[in-house]
Amino acid sequence: MRPVALVTGASRGIGRGIAVALADAGHDLVINYAANADAAKEVQAAVEAAGGRAVPVRADVSSAADRERLVEETYAAFGRLDLLVNNAGVAPDVRADLLEAGEESFDRLIAINLKGPYFLTQLVANRMIEQIGTGVVSAPRIVTISSISAYTASVNRGDYCVAKAGLAMMTTLYAARLAEYGINVYEIRPGIVATDMTGAVTEKYDRLIHEEGITPIRRWGQPADVGAAVVAVASGLLPFSTGQVIDVDGGFHLRTL
């Protein structure tokens, strides 16, 4: 039986790269998306081309009712869940200076980028514990996709940075709480990755990467790079690690002179 993964925000960007990588590695997928049904169907086709099953589920992770329905539809479709990947996230609509930014953007980003995965993980963890007890799954895993913004200050998008920093602690908390059940929890921290979210600042990052060497590995990251890290976790290659931060950032985190 193929293992099952639920990937939030799987219709585009990093989420799409993760879903395709997991399908190639032998997983069936629940493809969560917020709005773009056509994009989700494209990912579904890619999963099916890799020999897997895929079920698109539209759900807003900031909504408690949608989170509950997403989990119910996952178990209704497959009867099990081996991997949760918290990937869904948004950027601020407008980059606003920290001294001028308003509460509306802050509330939106915290709801989607932090509150959503925090409580979705709670729902899924409880179901995983039940299924471990009944022998349906063994050693399920939870992965949260955060960002170098968890520790890198961008004063024109403080709400985004605060949300990502919260995900880092969320990973630590769930890793500590779930270890007794054999559920390992990981944070994957991408750097500068080529997606529609970074498309608006391509020129800036091209200069920083290729001319200024902000990353020792002088290229853009790709969604497939993040997908490869998720596959490593999903394949059980880190069995004695939990709460681990996996940097997928071209070496951005290195402090060099």
- Cβ neighbours of residue 236 closer than 8 Å, sequence gap 6 or more: 139
First to last CA, the chain: 50
Q: What is the rounded distance in angstroms from the CA atom of residue 160 to the CA atom of residue 145? A: 13
Q: What is the rounded distance in angstroms from the CA atom of residue 5 to the CA atom of residue 30? A: 6
- Respond yes or no: is residue 186 known to be catalytic: no
Q: Among 118, 160, 174, 186, which one carries the catalytic annotation?
A: 160
Q: Which two tokens stand for residue 79?
A: 């009867």
Residues annotated as part of the active site: 160
